[in-house]
Amino acid sequence: MVEKTINMALLFYRKEVAELLLDSISLMRNRKIPNSKSLNPMKSFFLSCIIVSCTFSLSGQEVVTKDYSAYILTPPAPKAPRINGATVYGVRPGNPVIYRIPCTGERPISFAIKDLPEGLRMDREHGIISGSIKNPGSYSFLIEAENSAGSDKREMNFKVGDKIALTPPMGWNSWYIHYDRISDQLMREAADQMIKSGMADYGYQYVNIDDCWMVKHKTKDPEIGGKTREKDGTLITNLRFPDMKGMTDYIHEKGLKAGIYISPGPSTCAGYEGSYRHEEQDALTFADWGFDFLKYDWCSYDKKAGGKTREDLKKPYKKMWASLVGLDRDIVLNLCQYGMGNVWEWGAEVGNSWRTTGDLGLEERKGLPGFYSIGLRNAEHWPYAGPGAWNDPDYILIGWVGDARKMAEGTPTDLTPYEQYSYMSMWSLMAAPLIFSGDMAKLDPFTLNVLCNHEVIEVSQDPLGKQAKIVRKTDSDFVLVKIMIDGSLVVGLFNFMDSEAPVSVSWEELGISGSHIVRDLWRQKELSTLENLYETMVPPHGVQLVRIWLKK
């Protein structure tokens, strides 16, 4: 079969392509990955694609190999401390604070805070702030971090009031990799990996269970079936989750937060117990267990809604929202109802974020990858996003992810490196929740380079909370622009074409004039000072993400 592949390549493709096929097969047979820096970029990319897309049975074992190291743009973090992530944090009066200072640099790092608000304490070794603040108000303080290589400091602001999720939530969700295989053990391992991989050092903090932790209806499997609630109505977990409080304590000890999932209907989308007629009781249970985030998925509520008016669509979320805001614990509410009834127009009244479209994992690729079509629909709703209220176009599906239609085990993403940069750039520009849903146990350097660029994350976590808007869209490209709290603009120039192409944006389109400094955010370097126009070559389905400041 291998020889036939080569013959076909020789017949229908250029000699160079056949040689690359030979190279890739040889590499896979010998279990070796090429040193991509020794290859020219086009050859390296094509060779990587061949290796990713070809799976051979070698000595009875299936092997899939990839190496995207030639496409890593994010510079490595310095050895000295660098404090990352949002500069603002929202909490309700008297409710628990769990905040792990996102900070890169060689460990050990010693943390100190000047003017720490009353009621809070800090673990100096791990940089975890906990406690509570009784009185409403805005509390600013200085965080300092120091190690043997240097130091860093940054001002932080805790806003104590009725709003939480003042910047888009960042974290991980189990669905697109574990589906109905999720367990307590996998959740704990995901929390471990969030620390070990360094994701937590960039601001990722939520470790969220999706569906399938409850008892399933209509199953004979003793591990997940059985009685769904206690006599008093309290939810029962399936046997894969023997100790919810112990699990959230484990997550919280690391300075991270824990998320959970349920449906307002009688059952979840996968057929497990829902919250119907137990909403207030379940909210109390989630708080008692120690959860900080709730994804509330429409699913079977169709059978109970009674109609599709705005009030019908709002009703279950309004009920759960009222149950959550009265608790002595902050729980971010994520509405998952797929954009019905123009949810972006009213979602902020009953939650903190809302899905604007169907599942991205089910979106078919039509020339362009599905995140483009989902993202462009989400981009239309920019006027409705802001602190505490975010448009949600679904999760970041890169690295190893499972086929959503089959609820399958994970395989490497079929997105090219260029497409992955576009994906992360678009989500950051749109102030979308940055929730990764790939395999935390198989994070590779390229995936981490996409997820963990502090200048790109700064775009997402900007405290002004503005979502980017489209300033131009053609058949070949489009441009997204986001205003930042310092008055600078972040511009994403996206190429729809299947080949490299020039994309430009004029100062007139941006509403600016005069000399401006242009900085490449992925590469973290200044490009030039320009007067009227920025133009660049953009890779196929790729992006150039720049930040533009007025030259002073």
Catalytic residue positions, numbered: 297, 359
115 sits in which H/E element: none
| Spatial separation of the C-alpha atoms in residues 540 and 538, rounded to whole Å | 7
Q: Are 99 and 89 in contact (CB under 8 A)?
A: yes
Instruction: Put residue 531 in one of left, alpha, beta given phi > 0 → left and psi -120 to 50 → alpha.
Output: alpha
Residue of 436, 469, 466, 441 lying closest to 451 (CA atoms): 436
Residue of 451, 446, 439 lying closest to 410 (CA atoms): 439
Residue of 188, 341, 210, 185 lying closest to 272 (CA atoms): 210
| Spatial separation of the C-alpha atoms in residues 328 and 333, rounded to whole Å | 15
3-state DSSP call for residue 105?
coil
Residue with the two structure tokens 């089910």? 362
3-state DSSP call for residue 434?
strand
Burial (CB count <10 Å: 0-12, 13-18, 19+), residue 491 = buried
Residue of 106, 158, 150, 165 lying closest to 133 (CA atoms): 158
Q: Are 219 and 238 in contact (CB under 8 A)?
A: no
Residue of 417, 405, 403, 442 lying closest to 64 (CA atoms): 442
